[in-house]
Structure 1
Amino acid sequence: MNAPFLREEIGTGTVFDRLLSSSVPSCPDSPCEQCGDQSAVNGVIESCLDCFLSGNDLYIFCYSVSPAFFISKVRGGTCTFASSDPAADVLHRARYLLRHGFGAYDLITNNCENFAIYCKTGLLVTTSYSVGRSGQWGCIVSAANAIAGSSLRFLSSSFGGLAVVTSGIYCLNRVVSDIGIRRDVTKFPIEEPVRRIVA
């Protein structure tokens, strides 16, 4: 996908910067000497850090966070209550999925955040219908629910009260949709995701 018009919009300071920069593959004039040409590859790939970052900053995703830390991170997709497994288990999962795949990419239900969280924790959502499996998508859904779906907003007569109620609903929605809290999450051995994808 060559979309130079999208690349021109990246870095303008809008909320879409991260979405567009992570969704539009970089198309260098010459393939990377370490990675080769992976422009036609779909699914899980192995790349060098420079190609992975594609000129963007590196952000650290935090595991086993406290409730206060979780709520203080207003933007979703930055941390989870779930604990990370030992590095050997994480690398084993990542290498296995590199060979066998992680299914078709889907921005909402099967994206790079889902892949990384599964590799780090071994946790998968077991329900077939799930709103906001990833923290970033859960953040968007939580914001929409907090703004549009709250009947509690009518209990507050002031703007300040409305802001407190809406913020509380947003935070609660983020907490209950986190993979470390949800009840529809199970720890699966590495072969199970591949079996589910093939079936």
Structure 2
Amino acid sequence: MGLISNRVDKKNLKPGDHIYSWRAAYIYAHHGIYVGDDKVIHFTRRGQEVGTGTVLDVLVTSSVPARAQVPCSTCNPPEEGHHGVISSCLNCFLAGGVLYCFEYAVPPALFLAKARGGTCTLAASDPDDIVVHRAKHLLNNGFGCYNVFKNNCEDFAIYCKTGLLVLDQSTMGQSGQAVSFVGGPIAAVLSTPLTLITTNAYGMAATAFGVYCASRYAADIGMRRDVAKVSVEDLTTRLAAGALQITEPNLPALLPHAR
């Protein structure tokens, strides 16, 4: 892994790794937690992998390999009404794609060099045994309602790795991939006044890209101040009670290590 690619060989995987595989000509990536014994725990919409939640999914649906739609004999299909967190063998998770490993605690320079989100974060990972515990607990209890921009497969994997959740569920989740999807148009709008002082297309592009990088950096889970450490047991209790959103008055009692 490094600046150019996070590609990793299967033999180098260890339990607790956050892995992903690109889908549909790199339009989006599917994320999960490798827990050992050739198994990956990942979050889907009621057991079915979904794409971007946009019109691009027309392309996604037509390009997903057939093997992704027909689980192998070792992967039990989820029951009807399943909560969405499932366990698959590594091959079914990859669906014919290439295996990559998400990086944690990367230096700011490396984070910005990887201009597309969904591959790394500035946040540090917790120990592998805690990561696996969270993933297995959520496999049995769920991770709430799937939402492409606020609660997706990358959000699930990042939570398993860090224990961090966004306090206000009305805002963007932890996913760097989702930030990239919305960050481009936002950067273009925000940079419009600045581009008026430029005289060529290169200057306008550089300005927009700079705004995009700054917004992506500020939105990373390792930099945000609207996140808190939440135990997986407390998370599932709140999900069961329909009270996932964490409000400021509860922070001192709930999260002594809130950032």
Fold similarity call, TM over 0.5? yes
- Structure in which a larger fraction of residues adopt strand: 2
CA distance in 2, matches of 1:132, 1:94: 18
Residue 141 (str. 1) matches residue 174 (str. 2) = no
- Structure in which a larger fraction of residues adopt helix: 1
CA displacement at 1:14 relative to structure 2: 7.2
CA distance in 2, matches of 1:80, 1:17: 15
Q: SS state of the match for residue 110, structure 1?
A: coil
Aligned equivalent of 1:3 = none
Name the stretch that deviates more: 127-136 or 64-73. 127-136
Residue 185 (str. 1) matches residue 253 (str. 2) = no
Q: Which amino acid aligns with 2:102?
A: F
**Change beyond 3 A, Cα 1:37–1:94:** same
Residue 156 (str. 1) matches residue 235 (str. 2) = no
**Change beyond 3 A, Cα 1:55–1:38:** farther
**Change beyond 3 A, Cα 1:39–1:152:** farther
Cα deviations by residue, 1:28-61 (Å, 9 ceiling, x for unpaired): 2xx5221123375441011110111111111211
CA distance in 1, matches of 2:152, 2:159: 11
TM-score of the two chains, using structure 1 as the length reference: 0.84
Residue 165 (str. 1) matches residue 210 (str. 2) = no
Is the CA contact 1:27–1:39 (under 8 Å) kept in the aligned structure 2?
no
Gaps of 5+ in 1: 1-9
Q: Which amino acid aligns with 1:196?
A: R
Aligned equivalent of 2:92 = 51
Q: How many residues align?
A: 186
Seq. identity, %: 45
Gaps of 5+ in 2: 1-22, 31-50, 52-59, 243-259
Aligned equivalent of 1:5 = none
Aligned equivalent of 1:32 = 72
**Change beyond 3 A, Cα 1:134–1:192:** same
CA distance in 2, matches of 1:144, 1:166: 9
CA displacement at 1:136 relative to structure 2: 0.8
RMSD: 2.4
Cα deviations by residue, 1:123-154 (Å, 9 ceiling, x for unpaired): 10001321353111101221111112322221
